[in-house]
Structure 1
Amino acid sequence: MAKLYWPPKKDKKDRLHQLVAELPGVQAEIWERTFQIAARAEAALVQHRVEGVAKIDMLKGDIDGYVVLEDKAGSNQTPNKSKKYANSAASIEFGRSGYEVEMVNERGQIVRTYEVSPAEGLHILTEAANLPKKQRALRIKARKIRVKVKSGSKKRNKGQD
């Protein structure tokens, strides 16, 4: 199997690499391998899916093919784009550290607290591409997240605390 890696420069060797990489047979092989990795990733994702909208997608670049784990859950988005939000696709692949959540009302009083436990990553894309796993160290220091609760909103646990 041939692997070509090069920075785009204008010398003759790099033009030769690009010419070979753009050959129809090479592009067909790249797309075939992309499809195989995506099929294995989709099979692994289906085995672990309990709920959610995570999916595997294939993208075609100028030379390369890409397999993407994508999760466009509404809970991932925040109205304020400057704030960070949870990236479920990264959490699925690499895992997450635990954290504590404080639910507060309009006056800033804590209504409820609960802990979200750490979760190990599933390494869906890593295993599908037959790459070595790199374990991410879980954070020891717990994070704390404050969530504002609107008055009059329905409780998720139906009032059972």
Structure 2
Amino acid sequence: MAQVYPTIGARSLAKAIAVHDGVQAELTRRAFEIGVRAEEILVAHRADGHAEIDIEAGDNNRYVILSDDRGQKAALSIEYGREESVIVREDKHGRKYLDVLPAMDGLYILATASNLPKKRKGKVKLD
């Protein structure tokens, strides 16, 4: 009968598989494919925004990121949508203004590109 060892040298079996050249190449390939699909979806919806798709490599992982660092920092709202909200703004003379930010449906760019289920993030209750 075969015996399976939980380690290979000093590494766990899972770590040894994760760092294998073939596995890393496949992660890179799949992240690139997801990134290309995400970029296509984003471009189809972009009017004048600054959002972009980035691909980053971690130690043993790849990340496809919806980034809006150059714009309104609204990547979360772009992906999942938002409810209507009222913002109070004050000018340099102390006058206050109310701005209404309309509700927006999420585009689910990353979820669609990676074939994951579309789930809206729930509200956080602060007590």
TM-score (norm 2): 0.80
Which portions of structure 1, spanning 4 or more consecutive aligned residues, are displaced by more than 4 angstroms?
none
Q: What secondary structure sits across from 2:12 in the alignment? A: helix
TM-score (norm 1): 0.64
Structure 2: how far apart are the matches of 1:125 and 1:119? 17
Match of 2:3 in 1: none
- Structure 1 unaligned regions, length at least 5: 1-10, 77-86, 140-161
CA-CA distance at 1:107 after TM superposition: 4.5
CA-CA distance at 1:114 after TM superposition: 3.3
Match of 1:105 in 2: 91
Identity of aligned residues (%): 38
Structure 1: how far apart are the matches of 2:116 and 2:123? 21
Match of 1:23 in 2: 20
Match of 1:117 in 2: 102
Q: Aligned residue pairs: how many?
A: 117
Contact 1:96 1:138 in 2 (8 A): no
Match of 1:12 in 2: 7
Contact 1:30 1:65 in 2 (8 A): yes
1:53 aligns with 2:50: yes
Match of 2:118 in 1: 133
Pick one of 25, 30, 35 that aligns with 1:33. 30
Structure 1: how far apart are the matches of 2:91 and 2:32? 49
Q: What secondary structure sits across from 1:135 in the alignment? A: coil
Match of 1:66 in 2: 63
Structure 2: how far apart are the matches of 1:70 and 1:48? 15
- Structure 2 unaligned regions, length at least 5: 1-5
